[in-house]
Chain A
Amino acid sequence: MIPFLQAMASGILMGTLYALIASGFALILGAARVFNLAHGDLVILGAYVGYGLWTAHRLPPLLASPLAVLLLIPLALALRPLLAKLKGPFELKALVLCFGLSLFLQNVMQALFTSNYRLIMVPAFEEGVSLGPVRVAQGRLLVAGLAVALLAILHILLHHTFLGKAMRAVTQDREAASLMGIDTRRVELYVLGLGGAMAGLAGPLFASLHYITPTAGLDITIIALILTIFGGVGKLLGLFLGGLLFGLAEALAVAFWGAQWKEFVSFLVLLLLFQWRAFGLLRGRRSS
């Protein structure tokens, strides 16, 4: 029983990080109407920045995260001029564009970092801490705490600042928002930057808990997508809950059947979610 509780606890802790990753994806999907399939690759790129800084300078992932953000914000912002040039059905073309960029990023990372499995192994992260009946790794707890804190900051940003309210307004109804005098293009730019920042923050943290490869981005994107469909765009609480549930489900699947079923579970969950909540993504935008 205890091993299962243990697996569940670490799954839930991992879930908070998933929620952090998904928050950037959901913001971009909501306000810029882009399925950013390269989101996971951005996270992985951030993770490699963290890995490089750790192996070269012993810089812990917590400090590497802000540096990864500096790299990823401009990259995410570079999406904006590309998106503006798309012709034809926007959402579909944007999806294909992000797919192309994801492919490009994966290849560049493969060339730069080789396809070996990498992990930021911080010795202090490995030590166990007792949480009631279970013991979890210190690093996992720390990362989860950080993820929750960052999500809380994001929540405050979205609900208590003008910019955040503008972002939510654009997510809910683009036309009405622009009629109210919100510069939707500028909001989109901010959202892309914020999404990139979230990916950058999450990257090094992810690499300190989980092995990374240049092509691991897709699985991360899929998880972000699952949480977004589950929680709905622009609903951080839904994302957070989805993250906890998904982390739990994943940990249980791995504990029962083994790690090789991980991808199977996440794709199956996504497919099932599509059956029940095909319009979950569009909720809030239906009114127009």
Chain B
Amino acid sequence: MILFVVLSLLPFLLRFDDYSLYVLTLGLLFASLSVSWNLLAYCGLISFGHAAFFGLGAYTSAIFSMEGGLSPWITILLGMGWASAFALLVGLTCLHLKGPSFALGTLCWAEILKALAFNFTSLTQGAWGLVGIPPLPAISLGRLRIEFYFSRTANYFLFLLLLALFYIVERKLFTSRLGIAMRAIREGEERASSLGIDAFLLKLGTLVLSGSSTGLLGALYAHLLHTIEPGTAFSLYISFIPLIMAMFGGMHHPLGPIVGALVLYLLNEFLFQPLLPWAHQVPYAIGILLALFFLPQGIVGQRIEIREGRVKTGP
């Protein structure tokens, strides 16, 4: 809660500096991406292929708004729809795979879509990418007109709102009966099934939810940047970044992915990028190793354990 208050006050503290707001907006985007990814991880499924949903959402929305002339507010929903349909396909082809094989199966899908985006030049312009994607149209609320094209602040608050929404859904889900069932699947699928949980259906549902929210983010990303290309929209980066951020923050706590994403992304953008430009992905690699060896519960999980006295300090 405090985190969200701070985040909503941040633009005022930064005096609406365009560059910082832009970076922060992308930080919020990655935080939402990590939340979406983490839904799946909550049932014990590690995906290496969320770029598939992200890129599909981005390309669908971009193509429909450019070629079809539809309002981006509608096309982002179309992007979301395509991404969830695709999640269904990924689920039907990959959910029978266990652990590492599932991760690699999702990776395959992401790379297949990337290759298609590169090669179907008539639709996607191939490696040139799509340029000149229309921005989100302004919304008028009474006398207030929210202009997404010019105002970084408007974009910032749009993504903050979205993140808050994702967080609420995630928290509700984790504390509901479904969340308990998801945990049960994570800890032991066979036992969970024997208790009457339809593991396949639950996993499929989670995958579709996770995929559709990722598709929505991809679509928004396309309209935020006005340009996408296969190499970025379907990049491996989009797939592994939520994994690292969620692991670093803590996969078993709803706040974990958000904290992990903001910490890592901001560290990277404001500290490593200016100081060590060649090492722009090294913080993520280090983050993943740190998370594996020193923070098995992530930073949020670790803090909770210390607070509740579950961690012994000292020998």
B100 touches A274 (CB 8 A): no
Q: Any chain A CB within 8 A of the CB of B105?
A: yes
Q: Which residues of chain B are within 8 angstroms of A264 by Cβ–Cβ distance?
A: 111-112, 115-116, 119
* Nearest neighbor of A225 in chain B, beta-carbon distance: B104
The reply on A286 being an interface residue by CB < 8 A is no
Q: A95-B46, A264-B119, A267-B111 are in contact. Are A278 and B96 (CB under 8 A)?
A: yes
Residues of chain B contacted by A91 (CB below 8 angstroms): 99-100
Residues of B within 8 A of A268 (CB): 108, 112
Q: Which of B44, B97, B119, B292 is in CB contact (< 8 Å) with A274? A: B97
Interface residues on B, range: 35 or more
State whether A89 and B285 are in contact (beta carbons under 8 Å apart), knowing that A260-B118, A261-B119 are contacts in the complex: no
Contact B104 A35 (CB under 8 A): yes
- Are A274 and B116 closer than 8 Å at their CB atoms? no
CB distance from B143 to the nearest CB of A (A): 49
Whether A218 lies near B112 (C-beta < 8 A) is no
A99 part of interface (Cβ distance < 8 Å): yes
Known: A85-B293, A107-B279. A274 touches B115 (CB 8 A): no
CB distance from A123 to the nearest CB of B (A): 32
Contact check, A104 vs B99: say whether CB atoms are below 8 A apart. Answer: no
Report which residue of A88, A111, A264, A271 has the largest number of chain B beta carbons within 10 angstroms of its beta carbon.
A271
Q: Is the CB of A97 within 8 A of B289?
A: yes
Chain B 34-66 interface 0/1 with A at a Cβ cutoff of 8 Å (1 = within): 000000000010101000000000000000000
Partner of A263, one of B100, B109, B115: B115
Residue A176 at the chain B interface, CB threshold 8 Å: no
| A124 interfacial by beta-carbon distance below 8 Å | no
Q: Is A110 an interface residue (CB 8 A)?
A: yes
Considering the chains assembled together, what is the distance between the CA atoms of A97 and B288 in angstroms?
7
Q: A95-B103, A275-B93 are in contact. Are A88 and B296 (CB under 8 A)?
A: yes
Determine the distance from Cα of A99 to Cα of B107 in the docked complex, in whole angstroms: 12
Interface membership of B94, Cβ < 8 A: yes
Cα separation A172 to B221 with both chains bound (whole Å): 48
B115: min CB distance to chain A, Å = 4
**Most chain A beta-carbon contacts within 10 A, residue among B93, B284, B289:** B289
B131 within 8 Å of A (CB atoms): no
Q: Is the Cβ of A271 less than 8 Å from the Cβ of B105?
A: yes
Closest to B281 in A: A107
With the chains together, A85 CA to B296 CA distance in Å? Answer: 11
A residues apposed to B, CB below 8 Å: 35, 82, 85-89, 91-93, 95-97, 99-101, 103-104, 106-107, 110-111, 218, 222, 225, 260-261, 263-264, 267-268, 270-271, 274-275, 278, 281
User: Would you list 18 pairs from A and B whose C-beta atoms are within 8 A, ordered by A residue?
Assistant: A35-B104, A86-B292, A91-B100, A95-B100, A95-B103, A96-B243, A97-B292, A100-B285, A103-B288, A107-B281, A107-B285, A222-B111, A261-B119, A264-B116, A267-B107, A267-B112, A271-B109, A274-B94
- Closest 3 A/B residue pairs (Cβ): A264-B115, A100-B288, A104-B285
Q: A35-B104, A99-B243, A104-B289 are in contact. List 8 more A-B contacts (CB 8 A).
A: A91-B100, A92-B99, A97-B289, A97-B292, A99-B240, A100-B244, A222-B111, A261-B119
